[in-house]
Structure 1
Amino acid sequence: MRRRSFLLSAGAGAAALAGCLGDDGGETTETTDGDGAGGANATDGPTTGEGTTSGTTTGTAASVSGTLVVATYPTWVEGDSPAGTWVKEAFESEYDATVEYTTPDSRFSYFIRRAAQGAPIDADVYLGLNVDELIDLDEKAGGDVLSPLSVDAPVKEGLQFDPQGRAVPYDTGYISLVYDETTVEAPATFDDLLTEEYRGDLLAQNAQSSATGRAFMLHTVKAKGEDGYLDYWQQLQDNDVRILGNWSDSYTAYENGEAPMVVSYSTDQVYAHQAGADLSRHQVGFLNDQAYAQPEGVARFADSEQQELAQAFVEFLLTPEAQGEIAQRNVQYPATTNAELPEEFSKYTFEPEEPVTFTYEELKGNVDEWVDQWARQIAQG
């Protein structure tokens, strides 16, 4: 998500904004985004030995040590100043440990397939897990692939998405509207988008092939109910909403002036400010004063021989300093309430009055059906 860098150079393209929670990480197994850092979980990937980066920096002696293999998505380790590089160097400076990153092409789906086949899991930790993937794992491979984690950190209320405590949130994004205030006024409600004033103004993404599109669709289920969301989407289509394959496609179309509104992230102005863009074209709007929260989690594989080191790594990710660095470099919100963030970050980020999301229990057994129904009636209708 599933993806972005805080330290973007001026003139950076739209793909740079597709950060860790966008369409290049955290996708479900049915999504096939191609937004730079990718969300192509539907395709089979290489073994985790491919795409691995490692280091040998040794820090202070600690009660745990060794090599920790962390599987993740590409933008965690790519870009001008990725979160992964900072985390690796800072963690290694505190522990007698080496962090090795690996980025399998099919993301977490690679491990779901291996677990379902009874094959060895060749990583200790997975970073970038979302609730859809967790449900997919439990349905296809059982609930003992990951081991529970115990953390003592002030994680924000509502972000915990694993009832068994195996996945711990480390950041989150909010799906919102980004709009050009020189062309349109922000719609206040979902119903406003159905009026003539906004005919043809909105760019959205396919809920089958985009994490961003799926989150927006799920928000409409929240707003209109599972008996009303398809009717709402039919009305959106009647009002000439344009649905593109993934976030990158839609955001590029937006930047090219093809429409004055796009479904994107409430941290959009961080990218726009760093890129020297006109902020009037990067205003953030919340429908019904809400936004759909997309927490991203880290989990420990049960078969790992580095259980204590993995636990220490997760605890490190949730420290105030690490939370601040991850939020800035991923251009997402921290998962905890005590992150150390510069004043500039809050100046260009926006949180909704009411974050909304579905729980694991609410999505299990429902999300695939909701998406399939949406695809049959809207994407293929």
Structure 2
Amino acid sequence: MRTLLSHLVLATGLVSLLAGPAAAKDKLTVYTYESFTADWGPGPAVKKEFEAECGCDLEFVSVADGVALLNRVKLEGAATKADIVLGLDTNLTAEAKASGLFAPHGDVSGLNVPGNWSDDTFVPFDYGYFAVVYDTEKLKVPPKSLKELVEGSATDKIVIQDPRTSTPGLGLLLWVKSVYGDKAPEAWAKLKSKVLTVTPGWSEAYGLFTKGEAPMVLSYTTSPAYHMVAEKTERYQAASFEEGEYLQIEVAG
């Protein structure tokens, strides 16, 4: 699932980002997305371990997904209660910096992420690649490319996320643009017939998928690993696309 994206810089990046403020206050408030704080997400374990180290109370406040997270912080402005915002990605960092709400962090030059890292405001805590995950019991022949997904049968439905609220949804928007260029609007017109529904965030989309509402969902190449480890099943697989997959680096700031 999404939680297994963590190639986890989380242990170093998040702790280095939070350690300073935590020593100065009794409660540290972290805004993040729902799948991070869910019972099956990393949030509960992070809270337990971090509170033991910092001697503080760690409070998570969650919203549907990363774009909604930035929207909330911008709406709250300087009055926001967030000490840390965890769950934006690199498609949002320029907009986040422009808000003037985020302070520079310490040196993270030693972090190992694709393309290295030199941002002085945000700390990466995981990375992964977007993928179309499919149910092998419902779809025997998955699409082999983004173009095949777009131009394939309208009977093979997919659940996707809203780019106005979700980082995977925004990632798909940019992925289609990178493959189709100026013809992206035509591609979306074709894809529309295959979309079962558009959800506010990743959790809702993946929940519909695992309940059997659609044979495909926009998720991550690592999603099948969760099912293999937690459920001992290989039923869910990530389609391998000829164009390659779209990289996402999630950050905290």
Indicate whether the TM-score tops 0.5. yes
CA contact (8 A) 1:204 1:213 kept: no
Aligned to 1:112: 74
Paired residues for 1:153-232 under 5 Å: 153-158=110-115, 160=117, 164-182=119-137, 183-195=139-151, 198-205=153-160, 206-225=162-181, 227-232=182-187
Match of 2:195 among 237, 242, 250: 242
Match of 1:79 among 39, 44, 50: 39
The one-letter amino acid paired with 1:101 is E
CA contact (8 A) 1:70 1:127 kept: no
Deviations 1:316-348 (A, max 9, x none): xxxxxxxxxxxxxxxxxxxxxxxxxxxxxxxxx
- Deviation at 1:203? 0.6
Aligned to 1:308: none
**SS of residue paired to 1:72:** strand
For the aligned residues, what is the CA RMSD?
3.4
When the two structures are superposed, what TM-score results if normalisation uses the length of structure 1?
0.50
- Does the C-alpha gap of structure 1 residues 113 and 212 become closer, same or farther in structure 2, counting only changes over 3 Å? same
CA contact (8 A) 2:223 2:238 kept: yes
- Deviation at 1:65? 3.5
- Deviation at 1:99? 4.4
* Alignment partner of 1:100 is 2:62: no
Deviations 1:72-102 (A, max 9, x none): 225444415x53343344345555x424224
Partners of 1:83 and 1:284 lie apart in 2 by 22
The one-letter amino acid paired with 1:201 is D
- Does the C-alpha gap of structure 1 residues 279 and 69 become closer, same or farther in structure 2, counting only changes over 3 Å? same
Considering fraction of residues, name the structure with more helix. 2
Relative contact order, higher structure (CA 8 A, sep 6+): 2
- Deviation at 1:171? 0.7
- Deviation at 1:221? 0.8
CA contact (8 A) 1:129 1:167 kept: no
Deviations 1:281-325 (A, max 9, x none): x011122252222221111xxxxxxxxxxxxxxxxxxxxxxxxxx
Partners of 1:123 and 1:209 lie apart in 2 by 18
Partners of 2:124 and 2:249 lie apart in 1 by 6
Deviations 1:189-232 (A, max 9, x none): 22222455x4421313243344322211211111111x121122
- Deviation at 1:267? 1.9
Tell which structure's C-alpha radius of gyration is larger: 1
* Alignment partner of 1:297 is 2:251: yes
Paired residues for 1:1-381 under 5 Å: 65-67=23-25, 69-73=28-32, 74-79=34-39, 82-94=41-53, 97-103=55-61, 107-115=69-77, 119-139=78-98, 141-142=99-100, 145-158=102-115, 160=117, 164-182=119-137, 183-195=139-151, 198-205=153-160, 206-225=162-181, 227-237=182-192, 240-246=193-199, 247-276=202-231, 278-280=233-235, 282-299=236-253
- Does the C-alpha gap of structure 1 residues 108 and 286 become closer, same or farther in structure 2, counting only changes over 3 Å? same
Structure 2, unmatched stretches of 5+, are 7-19
- Does the C-alpha gap of structure 1 residues 152 and 129 become closer, same or farther in structure 2, counting only changes over 3 Å? same
- Deviation at 1:265? 1.9
**SS of residue paired to 1:214:** helix
Partners of 1:279 and 1:147 lie apart in 2 by 43
- Deviation at 1:146? 1.9
The one-letter amino acid paired with 1:79 is D
The one-letter amino acid paired with 2:210 is E
Deviations 1:91-123 (A, max 9, x none): 45555x4242241656343432343xxx34544
- Does the C-alpha gap of structure 1 residues 294 and 260 become closer, same or farther in structure 2, counting only changes over 3 Å? same
**SS of residue paired to 1:186:** coil
Percent of aligned pairs sharing the same letter: 23
Partners of 1:136 and 1:213 lie apart in 2 by 17
Partners of 2:115 and 2:155 lie apart in 1 by 34
